[in-house]
Amino acid sequence: MSNLHPSPEAEECAASLAPAPVVQALAARVSSLGALPIRRALPLRERRLVGPWCFLDRYGPLSFAGEKPMDVAPHPHIGLQTVSWLLEGEIIHHDSIGSEALVRPGELSLMTAGSGIAHTEETPQSNSGKLNGVQLWVALPDAARNGQPAFHHYRELPVVEERGGLVRTIMGGRAATNHFSPLIAAELTIHRGAALELPLDAAFEHALLILDGEASLAEQRLVPDTLYYLGQHRRSMALGSVDGARCLLIGGTPLEEPVLMWWNFVARSNAELEAARRDWEAHQRFAEVKAYRGPRLDAPAFVPRPIR
Chain positions contacting Mn ion, by CB under 5 A: 1-2
DSSP for 246-281, written as a single string: EEEEEEEPPPSS-EEEETTEEESSHHHHHHHHHHHH
DSSP for 74-87, written as a single string: EEEEBSEEEEEEEE
Nearer CB in complex with Mn ion: 82/232:
82
On whether the CB atoms of residues 119 and 92 are closer than 8 A, the answer is no
CA–CA distance from 306 to each of 10, 264, 299 (Å)? Answer: 9, 19, 20
Nearer CB in complex with Mn ion: 95/205:
95
Q: How far is the CB of 264 from Mn ion (least distance, A)?
A: 6
Nearer CB in complex with Mn ion: 135/169:
135
Instruction: Please state whether beta strands 236-241 and 265-267 pair in parallel, antiparallel, or not at all (unpaired).
Output: unpaired
* Alpha-carbon gap, residue 308 to 9, rounded angstroms: 15
DSSP for 213-244, written as a single string: E-EEETTEEE-TTEEEEEEES--EEEEEESS-
Q: How far is the CB of 196 from Mn ion (least distance, A)?
A: 32
Nearer CB in complex with Mn ion: 55/229:
55
Q: How far is the CB of 94 from Mn ion (least distance, A)?
A: 11
Q: How far is the CB of 247 from Mn ion (least distance, A)?
A: 24
Cβ contacts of 293 within 8 Å, gap of 6 or more? none
Angle at 223 between CA 46 and CA 64, to 5 degrees: 100
Nearer CB in complex with Mn ion: 2/127:
2
Q: How far is the CB of 41 from Mn ion (least distance, A)?
A: 17
Backbone CA torsion sign across 118, 120, 121, 127: negative
Q: How far is the CB of 174 from Mn ion (least distance, A)?
A: 27
Beta bridge partner(s), residue 46 = none
Nearer CB in complex with Mn ion: 185/215:
185
Residue 73: left if φ>0, alpha if ψ -120 to 50, beta else—which one? beta
Q: How far is the CB of 189 from Mn ion (least distance, A)?
A: 28
Nearer CB in complex with Mn ion: 2/169:
2
* Alpha-carbon gap, residue 237 to 245, rounded angstroms: 15
Q: How far is CA 286 from the centre of its chain?
A: 22
Q: How far is the CB of 82 from Mn ion (least distance, A)?
A: 5
On whether the CB atoms of residues 116 and 285 are closer than 8 A, the answer is yes
Nearer CB in complex with Mn ion: 2/81:
2
Nearest position to Mn ion, beta carbon: 1
